[in-house]
A and B are shown apart, each in its own frame.
Chain A
Amino acid sequence: MTLELEKLTNEIETMAQGAYRRREATNAVLEELMRRLRAHRTAWDTLEEALGRAMRELDMKWYRAARPLDDREPLDAVVPPPHPPAEATLVAGDGSQILPNRHGAYLYSVINVGVIVYYHGRGQAPFQTTYPTLDYPNGDHPDEDTFVDKGAIINLRRDKAEIETLVEVAYDYLDESCPVLALLDQRLLYWPVGSSGAEEGQRVLLSWQQAMSRACDGGILLAGYIVRPAKRSVLTMLRTLDILRPAFDKTQLEQGGREPGLTDAALFRRLLVEPGHRSKVFVDVSQHNNDFRSRDPRNEVCFFYLNPGRSGRQIARVDIPYCVAEDPAQLEMVHGLIYNQCQIMGDYPYVLTRADELAVISGRDRENLDVMIGNAMEKYGLGAAVTAKESGKQVARAGRTRHDGLRRR
């Protein structure tokens, strides 16, 4: 049965009214924060004092803010897009996975990483490739139930495979005369969600940080591109100025500002009006970033906001490691090349779109893989079938076909 849309009409209207009211409420807050940003545009000492006090007195487990990377640009800096280098190599990677399906005929998982190498300024077709890997219970997982239950680990391994593959491929293109930008479509300040205590999560985190260090060793311009960022670090930084006022309830800062719609992106949307313009570079202030910095100071994650497109409505965040952020020339190349990529599609890096396309495992791919595995199993008399539940789903979701007639004009 299809979704009966008319039954949702009233709810949709209520939803739109609620969104409008929230926007009106947040507008006033954002205007105040914008005034504060401008008023403290070069108040480096005041900011340092407030942030220092917050980091000393607040629980860093909950306090997440930002600090200015340096005093080269004011807090409200609006940096127009620089010309990208005449030639550069852009390597972009993305990953996808098939999680184990208890109801499938065979139990397995797949991780597929797609990589594209784009030769900026050379007018030639990019190089593309994929790296698929198959895992199954008679591999490292003797217990089938354990294999199914640890589907989350596959997501972690996919993240690990993404950055390691990206950096390895980027190494193949190192050339002193031509910069190499390695681009991911996710944050660089990686933290294994929900598994921070798990052994596998810590292994993946360490591998992630090692890959970042290796990128830095090779002079690779590593960057993570995040659309619709939900970070509130700069807003928290501005609110942290209140800690210098007497009688301020500083525990508010540990809550990180939970008002819906109040994000750094909402603030910078007001500032970065023109396509290609970027914000000042900030450093993430959090326990996670402390961990990154303690293992390799060059990996401390910095970020800037970017207006990537024609519409001017979207704001993206670009994460870069400290080793890139601290060098104005490298920062300029990252800014110029990423915006150059965004211009191809209008508002999103072309190479990331293509990397996603290469990585994605379609339903048809999965069907074909099932057939291949089924054929291999049959050779050993190990034929199996999907469960009745899976079979029922497939039948009900298969869609309908139309009789095409005799195809006469």
Chain B
Amino acid sequence: MAFPDNGQTLQEIDDVGNEIGRVLRASTIGFAVGSRVNQLSEPSFGCLVKAQPVDAREAIYGLIFDMHIDDDPLVRRLILAENPRQSVIEDQRNNRLIPIEMSALTVGYRLNGALRHGLPPRPPLNLDPVMLCVDQDEITAFTADPGYLRLILRAAGSQVPVDQLLVAHIRHTYEQRGQDAAWALATIQELIELLRSDYELLVPTLEAISDALPTLPFIAELEPVR
């Protein structure tokens, strides 16, 4: 891999283009990301993102589980007008600084170059850049071990829609790993294992995965029998 003059790796340079916003606020278990409208086209519910502190050897990984688009009195007033004009829409989206807020559930971190599936020693700081993980090698490395699923499941009962988040994440990662059916089946198998005492969550999750990935071989055989 060639290195540019300033010492950044090509991966780091690619990441700059994948920035989806910056950290608004954070805790150990998650972080909120503020984004501009023009950064909204790529990230979606269930995507893997990482808050990247200044040290490129560190990162905090999360799954997007919520997106908020707030209003204000001016937007409410404009809604009342019939057919808002394009210039007004562009003004609202590009000039008026109402950040789109995304919430991410922390599912792991990288410290000194090593990936870990657990809560980070400290949360990211305000204004740390947040990148969408699109590199196949990075996604493959992070999802190779299903240990991070435990962090998703421990959010059950909170504001995180765990069943839908699992479905979106598996479908998304399946595609990003090059339609990796083996990975998807292994992950589903792990979910069944982890949720064997929680049928209320497991059954709808598996049903939703079947709907989302109908071409996945043998998925019906993996569904648990009561």
Q: Write out the residue numbers on chain B whose beta carbons fall within 8 Å of the beta carbon of A123.
A: 85-87, 90
B157 adjacent to A344 (CB under 8 Å): no
Q: How large is the interface on B (under 10, 10 to 19, 20 to 34, 35 or more residues)?
A: 10 to 19
Q: Is the CB of B159 within 8 A of A126?
A: no
Q: Is A326 an interface residue (CB 8 A)?
A: no
Q: Any chain B CB within 8 A of the CB of A125?
A: yes
* A122: Cβ under 8 A from any B Cβ: yes
Which single member of B74, B80, B90, B158 contacts A124 (CB below 8 Å)? Answer: B90
Residues on B with beta carbons closer than 8 Å to the beta carbon of A346: 77, 80-81
When chains A and B are docked, how far (Å) is the Cα of A408 from the Cα of B87?
A: 41
Which of A194-202, A331-339, A350-358, A395-403 is the interface stretch?
A350-358
| Contact B159–A125 (Cβ < 8 Å) | no
A7 at the interface (CB under 8 A from B): no
Cβ contact of B74, chosen from A126, A343, A353, cutoff 8 A: A353
- Complex Cα gap A352–B74 (Å): 12
A346 to B90, CA, bound (A): 19
A125 to B85, Cβ gap below 8 A? no
Task: Output the residue of B84, B91, B95 with the most chain A CB within 10 A.
Answer: B91
Q: How far, in Å, is B123 (CB) from chain A's closest CB? A: 16
Task: From known contacts A125-B94, A126-B95, infer whether A408 and B85 are also in contact, taking CB-CB under 8 Å.
Answer: no
B81 touches A124 (CB 8 A): no
- A residues near B96, Cβ cutoff 8 Å: 357
- Cα A350 to Cα B84 in complex, Å, equals 12
Q: Which listed residue (B74, B91, B93, B159) contacts A409, Cβ 8 A?
A: B159
Q: How far is the CA of A380 from the CA of B8 in the complex (A)?
A: 38
B88 at the binding interface (Cβ < 8 Å): yes
**A350-B88 Cα distance, complex, nearest whole Å:** 9
* B220 on the A face (CB < 8 A): no
For the complex, what is the distance from the CA of A344 to the CA of B84, rounded to whole Å? 7
Q: A407-B159, A409-B158 are in contact. Are A125 and B78 (CB under 8 A)?
A: no
Known: A125-B90, A125-B95. A407 touches B78 (CB 8 A): no
Given the interface pairs A408-B157, A408-B158, A409-B159, the reply to whether A345 lies near B91 with Cβ below 8 Å is: no
Residue of A nearest to B159 (CB): A409
Q: What is the distance, in angstroms, from B78's C-beta to the closest C-beta of chain A?
A: 7
Instruction: State which residues 70-118 of B face A: CB under 8 Å.
Output: 74, 77-78, 80-81, 84-88, 90-91, 93-96
A contact face: mostly helix, strand, loop, or mixed: mixed
**Are A407 and B85 closer than 8 Å at their CB atoms?**
no
Contacts of B91 in A (CB 8 A): 118, 125-126, 354
State how many angstroms separate the Cβ of B98 from the closest Cβ of chain A.
12
> What is the minimal beta-carbon distance from B198 to any residue of chain A, in angstroms?
16
Known: A125-B94, A125-B95. A407 touches B158 (CB 8 A): yes
Q: Mark B142-177, 1 if CB is under 8 A from A, else 0.
A: 000000000000000111000000000000000000
CA distance A409 to B85 in the complex (A): 39
Contact, CB under 8 Å: A345 / B77: yes
Q: How far is the CA of A409 from the CA of B161 in the complex (A)?
A: 10
| Chain A hits for B85, CB < 8 A | 123, 344
Taking the closest CB of chain B, its distance from the CB of A362, in whole angstroms, is 13
Q: Which residues of A contact B80 (CB under 8 A)?
A: 346
A345 & B159 in contact (Cβ 8 Å cutoff) = no
Q: Does A128 contact B (CB under 8 A)?
A: yes
- Bound together, the chains give a CA A407 to CA B77 distance in angstroms of 32
**What chain B residues lie within 8 Å of A344 (beta carbons)?**
78, 81, 84-85, 88
Binary contact track A375-409/B, C-beta < 8 Å → 1, others 0: 00000000000000000000000000000000111
Q: What residues of chain B lie closer than 8 Å to A357, measured between beta carbons?
A: 74, 96
Residues of chain B contacted by A350 (CB below 8 angstroms): 88
A2 to B87, CA, bound (A): 43
Q: How far is the CB of A173 from chain B (nearest CB, A)?
A: 15
Q: What's the least CB distance linking A94 to chain B, in Å?
A: 15
Closest to B82 in A: A343
**Residues of A close to B78: CB separation below 8 A:** 344-345
Q: At the interface, yes or no: A119 with Cβ under 8 Å from chain B? A: yes
The reply to whether A124 and B87 form a contact with Cβ atoms under 8 Å apart is yes
CA distance A119 to B93 in the complex (A): 16
Q: With A and B bound together, what is the CA distance between A123 and B74 in angstroms?
A: 19
| Across-interface contacts of A345 in B (CB, < 8 A) | 77-78, 81
Give the complex CA separation of A126 and B80 in angstroms: 21
In the assembled complex, 26 residue pairs joining A and B whose CB atoms fall closer than 8 Å, in A order, are: A118-B87, A119-B87, A120-B87, A122-B87, A123-B86, A124-B86, A124-B87, A125-B90, A125-B91, A125-B94, A126-B87, A128-B95, A343-B81, A344-B84, A345-B77, A345-B78, A345-B81, A346-B77, A346-B81, A350-B88, A354-B91, A357-B74, A357-B96, A407-B159, A408-B157, A409-B158
Interface residues of A, Cβ cutoff 8 Å to B = 118-120, 122-126, 128, 343-346, 350, 353-354, 357, 407-409
| Partner-A contacts on B (CB < 8 A) | 74, 77-78, 80-81, 84-88, 90-91, 93-96, 157-159
